[in-house]
Chains A and B, each alone.
Chain A
Amino acid sequence: NAGVTQTPKFRILKIGQSMTLQCAQDMNHNYMYWYRQDPGMGLKLIYYSVGAGITDKGEVPNGYNVSRSTTEDFPLRLELAAPSQTSVYFCASSYSDRGHTDTQYFGPGTRLTVL
């Protein structure tokens, strides 16, 4: 298994540009998550999904959108990039069954700089 994969690894955007961060998992996990991590800080949850077609906001959703059309993929969309979105973005997945949510597995991250 590849686990959780993310593309691209690095990206530089200009203010106002848009882009999609890709995330895929091959572990048949039903839950998927997007976090951001600013320098020297812990991770903050942006959005999460409990299954295909279902998404919900986390702690810091403003400026982002997500979709979950398949179990495997959970892309994160930035519509109008701002310098405040300069961060490292991590995708994660886990399995939840009958209310028991298992360990989260993280991808390698996407380092985004907005200039």
Chain B
Amino acid sequence: DAKTTQPPSMDCAEGRAANLPCNHSTISGNEYVYWYRQIHSQGPQYIIHGLKNNETNEMASLIITEDRKSSTLILPHATLRDTAVYYCIVRAIDSSYKLIFGSGTRLLVRP
């Protein structure tokens, strides 16, 4: 599975959009980009995933660049409850069961 690179920490103001970047320059054609988050001491929570098209669900939007070497997770209106560690994970959905967690980005939402 491709390695990902994320900034160790970010912050944003409550009510504003939080844009979390992820680099995955060695991603293969059959690998998806997954985002999970972990709120303090809880189990990781699935947010969204995508292959090459942009995706949106009730939690967030995922923007993947055309060359697929990077992506951005967007929380459109961040709340204090979005303070968490966000993990960007790349894996092949048809062959790999594994989720390889890196260190993630610690997002702090400020009041």
> What's the Cα separation between A111 and B96 when bound, in Å?
28
Contacting B43 at CB < 8 Å: which of A41, A103, A107?
Answer: A107
Nearest A residue to B103, CB-CB: A42
Contacting B44 at CB < 8 Å: which of A43, A48, A99?
Answer: A43
The secondary-structure label for the interface of chain B is loop
Report the minimum CB–CB distance from B60 to chain A (whole Å): 14
Task: Assess whether A42 is in contact with B42, with CB atoms less than 8 Å apart.
Answer: no
Taking CB atoms, residues of chain B closer than 8 Å to A27 are none
> What's the Cα separation between A50 and B97 when bound, in Å?
9
Taking CB atoms, residues of chain A closer than 8 Å to B41 are 88, 109, 111
Taking CB atoms, residues of chain B closer than 8 Å to A107 are 43
Using CB atoms and an 8 Å cutoff, list the residues of chain A in contact with chain B. 4, 31, 33, 35, 40-45, 48, 50, 58, 88, 90, 92, 94, 96, 99-101, 103-109, 111
